[in-house]
Homo-oligomer: A and B are copies of this chain.
Amino acid sequence: MGGGTERTRDADRTRAEILSVATAEFADRGYAGARINEIADKLSTTKRMIYYYFGGKEQLYVAVLEQAYSRIRGLEQQVDVEHLDPVEAIRELAGLTFDHHEAHPDFIRLVSIENIHRAEHIARSEVLTRLANPALDVLGRILERGWDAGVFREDVDALDVHQVISAFCVFRTANRHTFGAIFGRDMLDPARRDHQRRLLGDLVVDFLTAH
């Protein structure tokens, strides 16, 4: 804590600050590698508050995951593609998914980290195990429209397509460093962004419209 002796009480602000610093630290170092003392050193309050508000390291981590997932879900809820024909709608949805993933590398890393831990922390969260999936709902409706119009293949479901889109978007961030080290190409290079975004759109559209 900074040198001043002033102490102003604001529970919401303190709680939010802890969550924000912890999000960055867990995303950077992983759950096992992040250190409570280091998170505390970056706060304008003391380590004691971490235990006061969250109870312990694991509970803090779960709260970080809950907040990260809720934010991404909020973004997904703002997707507006209902007015487009199915082919353009799926291309637009893929593009927006691409944008959201690229804009939130911390979220991607947190998801990777939680997979290393086999999603056992997610399993402890009521919030996370009940999370709605707006993107999947939107995708399902697009597929139905495409099926009704006879333009989309019918041997895959919404979750298959979601998997394809997510795989591409997640991989760019989650595997960025090893891919770059081994192949000498940065998948997140801004100069390649448009090409990658178009590639994803074509990939999904060409796949879905093939019969």
Complex contact B131–A182 (CB within 8 A): yes
State which of A9-17, A82-90, A158-166 sits at the interface with chain B.
Answer: A158-166
A177 contacts the other chain (CB 8 A): yes
Within 8 A of B (CB), among A154-179: 156, 159-160, 162-164, 166-168, 170-172, 174-179
Give A94 to B12 CA distance when docked, in angstroms: 50
Complex contact B163–A179 (CB within 8 A): yes
Given A133-B183, A182-B133, A199-B156, A175:B116 Cβ within 8 A: no
Q: How far is the CB of A157 from chain B (nearest CB, A)?
A: 10
Chain A facing B: main interface SS: helix
Report B-chain residues with C-beta under 8 Å of the C-beta of A116.
29-30, 33, 109, 112-113, 116
Complex contact B114–A178 (CB within 8 A): yes
State which of A39-47, A54-62, A140-148, A201-209 sits at the interface with chain B.
Answer: A201-209
Report B-chain residues with C-beta under 8 Å of the C-beta of A49.
none
Complex contact A119–B181 (CB within 8 A): yes
Give A112 to B199 CA distance when docked, in angstroms: 24
A78 contacts the other chain (CB 8 A): no
Q: Mark A60-96, 1 if CB is under 8 A from B, else 0.
A: 0000000000000000000000000000000000000
A-B contact pairs, 11 of them (CB 8 A): A29-B32, A32-B33, A112-B116, A119-B181, A163-B171, A164-B199, A167-B167, A167-B170, A167-B172, A170-B171, A170-B175
